[in-house]
C-alpha cells in the first residue's frame, strides 16, 4: 500500500489578525481520518512556516501534495512567517525552483488555499500535473470549507477533479462567489488523477454484464419448421 503524503504549510504568525489556520488543519485532519482510505493519507504540518522550513522539509521528504494555507498577495508570492514574527511574501522564482525540483521525484499536486493565488497556480501547472488557486479574496471560513471537503473526497478515493467539483458545490451552497480554479498540465487529465493508488482502491461490486448471445438456462426449445404451403 502507498501512503499519500500531504505537506500543509500553515504560514501565519501566532498573533495578530492571522487566519485561523489551526482550524483548517483540524478540520482537514478529522475529515481525512474518517474517510474510507484515511489510513493511506498522511498530513505533515509545518505551523508558523518559514521559507527555511519548506526548503528543509523538501530536502528530506518529497510529498505528493503541497498545500499552502495562509495569506497571498495580489502581485507576489504567498506570505511566509519571518524571523521577527511578522510575515512577508517569498519570491516567485524561489518558489518555482522548490516546486520544480520536487515535481520530478513525486510532487503531483499544489493547492494554494489563499487569496490571489490563481495566477501562480496557473504557472505551477506547468511544473506539476495539477495546481489550484483562488482568483480573488477568500474568507477564512470558505477556505477551510473547501479544504475540508476536497481532502475528504480525495481520501474517499475520488479523483482530483471530482473532489474539487464537490468542494465547489459546497462553496456555492454557502454563498461563496470567488471559486478556486483548477489548472492542469496540457495533456494531463485531472479526472484520472488519484492520490489513492488504483491497487488500493477495490473495484466496487456491480451487476455483471450479460453477453449479447446469453440465453438463460432451461429446457431446449423445440425446433421450428415452416409450415408447407397449401396446395
Residue 88 included in any domain: yes
Classified as helix, coil or strand, 8 is strand
Residue 93 included in any domain: yes
Rounded Cα–Cα distance for residues 10 and 33 (Å): 19
All residue ranges of the chain with pLDDT < 70 are: 14-21, 203-218, 220-225, 231
- What does the block give as the cell for 120? 501562480
Q: What angle do CA 44, 140, 148 make, to 5 degrees?
A: 50
Q: Cell match 500531504: residue?
A: 6
Residue 225 included in any domain: no
Cα end-to-end distance, the chain, whole Å: 79
Rounded Cα–Cα distance for residues 35 and 38 (Å): 5
Residue 224 included in any domain: no
Contact 69, 21 (CB under 8 A): yes
Residue 100 included in any domain: yes
Q: What angle do CA 58, 62, 67 make, to 5 degrees?
A: 80
Return the closest-CA partner of residue 62 out of 72, 70, 54, 74: 54
Radius of gyration of the chain (CA): 24
Rounded Cα–Cα distance for residues 193 and 219 (Å): 50
In which domain, by residue range, is 101 found?
A: 4-200
What is the model's pLDDT at position 24? 86
What is the model's pLDDT at position 8? 95
CATH of the domain at 140: 3.40.50.1460
What is the model's pLDDT at position 17? 47
Strands (E) in 12-149, as ranges, are 41-47, 65-70, 79-81, 87-89, 109-113, 130-134
Q: Cell match 502507498: residue?
A: 2
Residue 158 included in any domain: yes
Q: What is the pLDDT of residues 131-187, one digit of tens each?
A: 999 999 999 999 999 999 999 999 999 999 999 999 999 999 999 999 999 999 999
Residue 136 included in any domain: yes
Residue 71 included in any domain: yes
Q: What is the largest CA-CA distance in the chain?
A: 112
Contact 6, 196 (CB under 8 A): no
Helix (H) or strand (E) holding 58: helix 51-60
At 229, phi and psi to the nearest 5?
-65, 145
How many distinct structural domains can be found in the chain? 1
Q: Compute how many other C-beta atoms are within 10 angstroms of the C-beta atom of residue 143.
A: 23
Amino acid at each position: 500500500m502507498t501512503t499519500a503524503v500531504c505537506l500543509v504549510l500553515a504560514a501565519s504568525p501566532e498573533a495578530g489578525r492571522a487566519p485561523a489556520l489551526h482550524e483548517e488543519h483540524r478540520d482537514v485532519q478529522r475529515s481525512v481520518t474518517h474517510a474510507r482510505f484515511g489510513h493511506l493519507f498522511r498530513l505533515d504540518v509545518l505551523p508558523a512556516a518559514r521559507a527555511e522550513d519548506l526548503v528543509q522539509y523538501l530536502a528530506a521528504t518529497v510529498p505528493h501534495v503541497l498545500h499552502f494555507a495562509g495569506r497571498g498577495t495580489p502581485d507576489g508570492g504567498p506570505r511566509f512567517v519571518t524571523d521577527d514574527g511578522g510575515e512577508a511574501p517569498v519570491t516567485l522564482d524561489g518558489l518555482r525552483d522548490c516546486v520544480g525540483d520536487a515535481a520530478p521525484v513525486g510532487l503531483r499536486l499544489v493547492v494554494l488555499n489563499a487569496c490571489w493565488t490563481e495566477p501562480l497556480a496557473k504557472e505551477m501547472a506547468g511544473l506539476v500535473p495539477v495546481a489550484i488557486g483562488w482568483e480573488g479574496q477568500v474568507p477564512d471560513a470558505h477556505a477551510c470549507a473547501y479544504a475540508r471537503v476536497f481532502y475528504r473526497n480525495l481520501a474517499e478515493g475520488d479523483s482530483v477533479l471530482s473532489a474539487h467539483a464537490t468542494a465547489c458545490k459546497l462553496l456555492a451552497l454557502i454563498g461563496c462567489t470567488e471559486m478556486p480554479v483548477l489548472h492542469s498540465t496540457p495533456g494531463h487529465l485531472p479526472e484520472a488523477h488519484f492520490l489513492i493508488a488504483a491497487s488500493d482502491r477495490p473495484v466496487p461490486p456491480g451487476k455483471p454484464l450479460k453477453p449479447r448471445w446469453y440465453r438463460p438456462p432451461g429446457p431446449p426449445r423445440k425446433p421450428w419448421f415452416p409450415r408447407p404451403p397449401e396446395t
